C-alpha cells in the first residue's frame, strides 16, 4: 500500500511537471538543439573574378558545435537566385572554404548564407547571412523614385491594454530598411494630440500612453510631407502589461493586471536562453500591480526570452532582454614587430594570448583603403550573441558592444523590443517536442548502394570485395580497402571525408571464378535538395555592402584589370605560343615526381579513336607493348620486360604501379581498360626496389574531363561528388629573388584560416608582404575557444587597435 501511494504521488508530480510549458521547451531543445553559425570573410566587398575566403564557426549551447558534420554555404543575389552552393566538412565546430566569384557577375549586393542540415529544423529566418558588395558588370539602372518612409509600432510584451500604462517602441526606416532619425506625435481618433516622440538611436525610440477602450491611436511623423498615419493595434480590455527597465544587476519589472480576471492573472515568469530554461520566478500574489527584479548576473550573455504565465500555464506576455556579463570575451593583442608599408615591404606581427587558451582562430589582413568606412563590421560576437536570435536586419550591431555602457544598454533594450524575434509559439511547443525532426546530420559523407552480378538481377550477397577509391582531381590521391556486401547485396561506407569528385571501383578478387559487377549508388548524402525560405531583401542594403563612390571606382578599376588579364578586353592582338601535344598535356596532368622521367613507351588511351572494350588491362597490353610479355597463373598476373634475368638465371618480373602506388598483378587485373588514361613503361626506375631492374609498368586511371566521352564510367564503378575542394590562399614571398614581377594589386594581403592556439602565453607569428599600393592596412582576428569564449580583434595601421 505504501509503495502504491508513493507511485501515485510520483505520477502526480510527473503529470504536473509535464503540464508546465518549460518541460516541453526543454524536451524540444534536447531533441533538436539550437545551432548557430558565423562566417568570417577576408573582407566585405569584392570585384567579379575575385575569391571570397571564409572561416565558419559553429556553436550550440554556447560551445563549439559537436552536432553538425556538414556545412552548406550559398551565394544568393537580390532576386533570391542561387549563384553557387558548396558543402564543407565541419571538424571540431569549424570549417573553411572559398567562393570563386564569376567574372561575368553583375554589380550589386549579395547574400552569403551558411547553415547545416539540422539548422533547417528551425525557422529559416534565423539562418546566418552576411551581405557583401560586388562590383562586376553594370546592372540595369532603375530611375530613382520617391523616397519612402516606413514606421513600425511595437507595444511592449506584445499587448496593448486599455486603462494601463503602456510602453510602445517604434522603428523608422527608409525604402531600403536603413534607419531614419525623425520625430513625430501620437494622436487619437478624435484628432487630439496625446504625446510626442523622438528617435533615440538608429531610427528607434519609445513613448508611453494610457489608451482608452474603443479609441484608436496613430502616429504621424513631423518630417513626412504626406502626414501618413501609422496606427497602433486596437486596445484590448483583457490581458496584462509587462514592462521592463534596465538596471545595474539585471532588470526591474512591472506587471499591470486586473485581479478579478482569473484567466489573465500572472503566476510566474520563465526565462529561456537557447531554448533552455535558465530561470523560473514565482510572482507574489497581489490584487493589482506587481513589481520585482530579475537578477541576470549568473546567466550567460545573450538574448534572454522572458514569458509571464498564468497558474494554468497560459502565456500572458513575452519580452526579450539582452544580458551582457562579458564572460564571453577572449583576451588577445596584436603586437607590432615590424611595419613596412613601402612597396612589397615585409611586415611582422604577433597574435598574443597572455593567458591559457585552447581555441580555433582565423586572421585577415587587407588593404585598408578599400574599407567601407563603418567603425566595425558585424563580427563573431555580434552574430552569435545578438543578431542570430533576432529576425530582420540590425543596423551596425557592433555599436551596442562598443558605445558608452548606458547608451549601449538603452539602445539594446530598444533593439529587443522592435525586432521580430519569435522562433516559436508557446501553443506549438508540445507538438514540436514530440515531432520527429525533418533533417538529420549526414555524419559526413555516406556512399552506399547495391551490387548485382552483371547482366542479371541477382544480388551479390555476403561477398568480400576490393574497393579502390581514387580522386578525379589528381593522380596520386587513392586508397584501397576490403568491403563486404550484406545479404541483399548492399554496401555502405559512412563517416567519409573527401573533396572533389572520386571514383569507387569495386572488384571481385575471390579465388574462385570471379564475377563481373553492376553497381548502383544510392542518393547523394551531402547534396540533398534543401528548400530554404528567401532572404530578407532589406539585408541586401545593410551598411557593409553600401559602397561609397570612391570604393566603387577602385573596385571597378580592379575588375577591368581582371578582365584584361583574362584576355576578355584584348582586341586586335594575336599571341603566338608553342602548343603542347595532347600526350604532353596528359602527362603534365597525371605524372608526378620520379615518374616524370623518360619512359621507354607511353600509351595514350584518352586521345585515341580506338574502341577499348577489354575488361582486363592486361588483355589490352598483350601485344601492344613491344618487349612486354604477360603470364597468368590463376588469378595472378606477372609481367616481364625483354625477358631480363638475374645472376642466378631466373627471369626478373616488372614492378607494377597503379596511380603511382605499387600493387601486385592480381589487383591491377581488376582494372578495366576503359578506366585507364595512360600506360607508361620504364626500362629501369630509381624509385622502385632494386632500381626496377626488371622494368616498371605504371598505369594511370582516368579522372575529371577524361570521362566526358563516356555515356557511363563502367558498371563496376561509381562517380561520387564529395565536399568542395578547399584552396590554399596565395601569399607571395618577395624575399625570394625569383618572386613575381607583375604589378601586385592584391586587396587581401594575408588570409590565415587555421590558427590553433593551445597552452599558456601563446604567440602566433603573422608575416606578410605589402602589395604595390597599400598605404594603410587592416588586421582582423576572430575565433572561438573550447570553452566558448569569443575573440574579435581589429587593428588599423597607421591607426589604433579596437577590441570588444
The predicted-structure confidence for 615-664, as pLDDT tens digits, reads as follows 788 888 887 887 888 888 877 889 988 766 766 667 888 899 988 888 88
CA 403 to chain centre: 29
CA 162 to chain centre: 47
pLDDT in tens, 496-540: 999 988 889 898 877 566 678 899 998 877 777 777 877 665 555
pLDDT in tens, 254-300: 999 998 899 999 999 999 999 999 999 999 887 789 999 999 999 99
Say how far apart CA 407 and CA 413 lie, in whole Å. 10
| Contacting residues for 524 by C-beta, under 8 A, at least 6 apart | 720, 721
3-42: buried (b, 16+ CB within 10 Å) or exposed (e) per residue?
A: eeeeeeeeeeeeeeeeebbbbbbbbbbeebbbbbbbbbbb
What is this structure's pTM? 0.84
pLDDT in tens, 679-733: 999 887 777 777 778 889 999 988 766 654 433 345 788 888 899 999 999 999 9
3-state SS, residue 456: coil
Q: Taking a C-beta distance cutoff of 8 angstroms, is the pair 342, 774 a contact? A: no
Other CB atoms within a 10 A radius of the CB of residue 591 amount to 20
Mean pLDDT calculated for residue range 137-149: 63
pLDDT in tens, 44-53: 999 999 999 9
Bridge partners, residue 622, by sequence: none
And the C-alpha cell for 513? 571464378
Could you tell me which of 303, 327, 328 has the C-alpha nearest to residue 413?
Answer: 303
Helices 2-19 and 21-31 cross at an angle (nearest 10°) of 80
pLDDT in tens, 479-505: 888 999 999 999 999 999 999 888 898
Q: Taking a C-beta distance cutoff of 8 angstroms, is the pair 162, 211 a contact? A: yes
Bridge partners, residue 70, by sequence: 89
Q: For residue 153, what pLDDT band results from cuts at 50, 70 and 90? A: very high
Strands, E assignment, 261-332: 266-273, 276-282, 290-295, 302-310, 315-323
Residue 468's pLDDT is 84
Kindly report whether the peptide bond that precedes residue 798 is cis, defined as omega within 30 degrees of 0. Answer: yes
User: Which helix (H) or strand (E) segment is 28 a member of?
Assistant: helix 21-31
CA dihedral 260, 262, 263, 264 (to 10 degrees): 60
Other CB atoms within a 10 A radius of the CB of residue 481 amount to 10
Mean pLDDT calculated for residue range 136-154: 73
Question: 521 vs 493, 518, 721, CA distance in Å?
Answer: 11, 10, 12
pLDDT in tens, 788-804: 999 999 999 985 556 66
> What is the gyration radius of the CA atoms in the chain, in angstroms?
34
Bridge partners, residue 757, by sequence: 359
Q: For residue 559, what pLDDT band results from cuts at 50, 70 and 90? A: confident
Task: Identify the burial level of 233 via C-beta atoms within 10 angstroms of its C-beta, where 0-12 means exposed, 13-18 middle and 19 or more buried.
Answer: middle
Backbone φ and ψ of 540, nearest 5°? -70, -10
Amino acid at each position: 500500500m505504501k509503495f502504491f501511494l508513493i507511485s501515485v504521488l510520483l505520477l502526480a508530480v510527473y503529470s504536473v511537471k509535464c503540464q508546465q510549458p518549460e518541460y516541453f521547451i526543454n524536451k524540444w531543445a534536447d531533441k533538436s538543439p539550437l545551432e548557430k553559425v558565423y562566417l568570417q570573410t577576408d573582407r566585405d566587398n569584392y570585384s567579379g573574378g575575385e575569391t571570397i575566403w571564409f572561416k565558419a564557426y559553429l556553436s550550440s549551447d554556447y560551445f563549439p558545435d559537436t552536432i553538425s558534420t556538414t556545412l552548406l554555404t550559398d551565394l544568393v543575389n537580390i532576386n533570391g537566385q542561387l549563384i553557387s552552393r558548396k558543402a564543407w566538412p565541419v571538424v571540431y565546430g569549424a570549417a573553411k572554404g572559398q567562393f570563386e566569384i564569376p567574372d561575368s557577375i553583375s554589380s550589386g549586393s549579395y547574400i552569403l548564407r551558411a547553415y547545416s542540415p539540422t539548422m533547417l529544423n528551425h525557422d529559416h529566418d534565423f539562418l546566418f547571412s552576411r551581405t557583401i558588395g560586388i562590383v562586376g558588370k553594370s546592372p540595369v539602372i532603375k530611375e530613382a523614385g520617391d523616397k519612402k518612409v516606413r514606421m513600425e509600432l511595437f507595444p511592449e510584451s506584445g499587448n496593448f491594454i486599455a486603462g494601463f500604462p503602456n510602453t510602445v517602441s517604434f522603428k523608422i526606416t527608409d525604402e531600403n530598411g536603413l534607419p531614419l532619425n525623425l520625430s513625430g506625435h501620437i494622436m487619437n481618433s478624435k484628432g487630439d494630440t496625446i504625446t510626442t516622440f523622438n528617435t533615440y538611436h538608429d531610427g528607434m525610440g519609445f513613448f508611453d500612453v494610457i489608451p482608452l477602450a474603443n479609441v484608436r491611436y496613430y502616429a504621424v511623423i513631423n518630417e513626412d510631407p504626406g502626414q501618413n498615419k501609422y496606427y497602433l493595434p486596437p486596445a484590448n480590455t483583457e490581458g496584462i502589461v509587462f514592462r521592463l527597465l534596465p538596471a545595474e544587476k539585471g532588470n526591474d519589472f512591472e506587471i499591470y493586471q486586473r485581479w478579478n480576471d482569473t484567466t489573465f492573472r500572472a503566476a510566474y515568469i520563465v526565462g529561456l536562453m537557447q531554448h533552455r530554461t535558465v530561470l523560473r520566478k514565482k510572482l507574489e500574489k497581489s490584487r493589482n500591480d506587481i513589481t520585482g527584479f530579475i537578477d541576470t548576473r549568473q546567466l550567460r550573455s545573450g538574448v534572454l526570452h522572458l514569458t509571464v504565465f498564468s497558474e494554468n500555464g497560459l502565456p500572458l506576455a513575452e519580452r526579450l532582454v539582452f544580458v551582457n556579463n562579458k564572460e564571453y570575451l577572449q583576451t588577445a593583442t596584436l603586437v607590432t614587430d615590424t611595419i613596412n608599408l613601402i612597396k612589397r615591404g615585409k611586415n611582422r606581427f604577433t597574435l598574443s594570448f597572455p593567458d591559457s587558451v585552447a581555441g580555433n582562430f582565423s586572421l585577415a589582413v587587407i588593404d585598408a583603403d578599400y574599407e567601407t568606412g563603418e567603425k566595425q563590421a558585424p563580427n563573431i560576437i555580434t552574430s552569435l550573441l545578438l543578431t542570430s536570435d533576432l529576425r530582420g536586419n540590425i543596423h551596425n550591431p557592433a555599436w551596442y558592444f562598443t558605445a558608452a555602457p548606458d547608451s549601449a544598454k538603452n539602445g539594446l533594450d530598444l533593439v529587443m523590443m522592435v525586432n521580430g524575434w519569435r522562433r516559436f509559439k508557446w501553443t506549438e511547443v508540445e507538438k514540436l517536442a514530440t515531432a520527429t525532426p525533418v533533417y538529420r546530420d549526414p555524419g559526413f559523407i555516406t556512399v552506399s548502394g547495391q551490387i548485382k552480378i552483371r547482366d542479371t538481377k541477382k544480388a551479390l550477397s555476403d561477398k568480400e570485395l576490393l574497393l579502390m577509391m581514387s580522386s578525379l582531381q589528381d593522380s596520386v590521391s587513392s586508397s584501397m580497402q576490403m568491403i563486404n556486401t550484406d545479404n541483399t547485396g548492399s554496401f555502405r561506407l559512412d563517416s567519409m571525408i573527401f573533396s572533389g569528385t572520386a571514383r569507387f571501383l569495386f572488384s571481385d578478387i575471390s579465388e574462385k571464378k570471379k564475377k563481373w559487377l553492376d553497381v548502383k549508388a544510392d542518393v547523394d548524402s551531402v547534396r540533398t535538395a534543401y528548400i530554404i525560405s528567401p532572404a530578407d531583401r532589406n539585408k541586401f542594403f545593410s551598411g557593409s555592402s553600401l559602397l561609397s563612390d570612391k570604393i566603387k571606382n577602385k573596385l571597378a578599376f580592379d575588375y577591368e584589370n581582371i578582365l584584361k588579364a583574362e584576355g576578355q578586353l584584348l582586341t586586335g592582338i594575336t599571341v603566338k605560343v608553342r602548343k603542347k601535344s595532347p600526350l604532353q598535356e596528359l602527362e603534365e596532368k597525371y605524372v608526378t615526381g620520379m615518374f616524370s622521367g623518360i619512359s621507354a613507351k607511353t600509351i595514350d588511351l584518352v586521345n585515341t579513336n580506338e574502341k577499348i572494350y577489354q575488361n582486363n588491362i592486361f588483355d589490352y597490353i598483350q601485344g601492344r607493348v613491344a618487349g612486354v610479355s604477360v603470364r597468368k597463373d590463376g588469378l595472378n598476373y606477372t609481367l616481364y620486360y625483354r625477358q631480363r634475368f638475374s645472376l642466378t638465371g631466373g627471369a626478373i618480373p616488372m614492378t607494377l604501379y597503379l596511380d603511382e602506388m605499387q600493387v601486385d598483378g592480381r589487383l591491377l587485373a581488376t582494372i578495366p581498360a576503359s578506366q585507364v588514361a595512360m600506360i607508361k613503361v620504364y626500362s629501369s626506375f630509381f624509385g622502385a626496389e632494386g632500381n626496377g631492374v626488371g622494368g616498371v609498368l605504371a598505369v594511370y586511371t582516368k579522372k575529371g574531363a577524361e570521362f566526358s566521352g563516356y555515356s557511363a564510367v563502367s558498371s563496376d564503378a561509381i562517380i561520387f561528388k564529395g565536399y568542395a575542394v578547399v584552396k590554399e590562399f596565395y601569399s607571395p614571398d618577395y624575399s625570394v629573388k625569383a618572386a613575381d614581377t607583375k604589378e601586385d594589386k592584391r586587396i587581401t594581403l594575408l588570409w590565415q584560416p587555421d590558427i590553433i592556439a593551445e597552452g599558456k602565453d601563446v604567440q602566433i607569428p603573422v608575416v606578410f608582404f605589402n602589395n604595390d599600393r597599400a598605404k594603410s592596412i587592416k588586421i582582423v582576428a576572430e575565433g572561438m575557444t573550447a570553452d566558448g569564449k569569443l575573440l574579435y580583434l581589429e587593428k588599423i595601421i597607421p591607426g589604433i587597435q579596437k577590441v570588444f
